[in-house]
Amino acid sequence: MDAQVSTAVDEEDTSSSSSTCSSSFPGSSSSTSSPCYPLLLSSPEEDFGYDELLSPSQSPSTASSSHTAMTSTPCSQSDVSSQGEEGPSTSQSLTDEKVNDLVEFLLLKYRMKELTTKAEMLNSVIKNYQEHFPVIFSEASECMQLVFGIDLKEVDPSSHSYVLVTTLGLTYDGMLSEVQGMPKAGLLVLILSIIFMEGNCASEEVVWEALSVMGVCAGRENFIYGDPKKLITHDWVQEEYLVYRQVPNSDPAHYEFLWGPRAHNETSKMNLLEFLAKVNGSDPRAFPVWYEEALRDEEEKAQARVATTDDLLPRYFI
């Protein structure tokens, strides 16, 4: 695994030197904001950020018109004014290198299903740059979450020990398929986001147009995702995270994506909206259209749980 990740790092250095973790995400496109991972969609003519995409005035219907390209949150957000005598480019390059090293280290820990600690990260990865650990750790954590769909959760504050788990409560990371590679839950979260913001149903054209901007194309092998078309239209459909169906009465045939039953069972629209709002540095209530939709989803799930409980009660208790 180390060799694979290192190869990816080397391949990306020339094309994304300003991007903190683009080397951990082969095929990602660089932009003026030096993204580590494109999470949401925006217009290619306007470099939408999360605040612009998740505008309170937007609705699923109006937002869909802008869902044609990818935007992102920069991994590297350190204040260049605090970089001292080294100068911004030198200091940032060192930080970026350590972020990539830490991402590689955390991926290994995840694959081995091992906990890690702050002390281990400092001694094994950060070494002589310990004063920069807060920034490096923050950016590496963001990359792990957005690129690979992996969260770092502190399990013991006294020892600063962490466990790595798939984000949003998802239980399948894509590593059990025949495609060898890295965790793939980040892409699944992206697709679930597209579906949600497209009004709970996204056309195949919209999804692939979005993914193509980050270098994920149908029929093109990807370092992380293997065969993306198989992963999205077969593996995740078989795992019941996605529904992939023909649009009724379409001729020639067109296809669309919906959330599958497993996605509904393991996470929720509210969890997803809270995640997106957190990435955006905002609050779910700031986006009333999607917030109301998420609330309806929560209420429907609560009613379904009550109905199931009632059905399980012995008849003589009624």
Number of domains in the chain: 1
Per-state percent for the chain, helix, strand, coil, to nearest 5: 55, 15, 35
pLDDT at 310: 60
Residue 317 lies in a domain: no
Residue 203 lies in a domain: yes
Residue 318 lies in a domain: no
- The conformation of residue 30, written as its DSSP 8-state character, comes to P
Residue 140 lies in a domain: yes
CATH of the domain at 148: 1.10.10.1210
Spatial strand order of the sheet with 242-246 comes to 202-203, 255-259, 242-246
pLDDT at 264: 95
How far apart are the C-alpha atoms of 283 and 267, rounded to whole Å?
A: 18
User: Which domain, by its residues, includes 68?
Assistant: 1-80+87-310
Per residue in 81-106, pLDDT tens? Answer: 344 444 555 677 888 899 999 999 99
How far apart are the C-alpha atoms of 214 and 151, rounded to whole Å?
A: 22
Per residue in 162-194, pLDDT tens? Answer: 999 999 999 988 775 444 568 999 999 999 999
How far apart are the C-alpha atoms of 155 and 64, rounded to whole Å?
A: 39
DSSP per-residue string spanning 38-73: EEEEE-TTTT--HHHHT-TT--HHHHHTTTTEEEEE
pTM value? 0.72
How far apart are the C-alpha atoms of 105 and 121, rounded to whole Å?
A: 8
Residue 6 lies in a domain: yes
* Mean per-residue pLDDT over the chain, rounded: 75
Contact 116, 99 (CB under 8 A): no
Residue 60 lies in a domain: yes
DSSP per-residue string spanning 230-281: HIIIIIHHHTTSEEEEEPTT-SS--EEEEE-HHHHHH--HHHHHHHHHHHHT
Q: How far is CA 89 from the centre of its chain?
A: 27
Residue 315 lies in a domain: no
Nearest alpha-carbon partner for 171 in 154, 153, 156, 183: 183
Residue 265 lies in a domain: yes
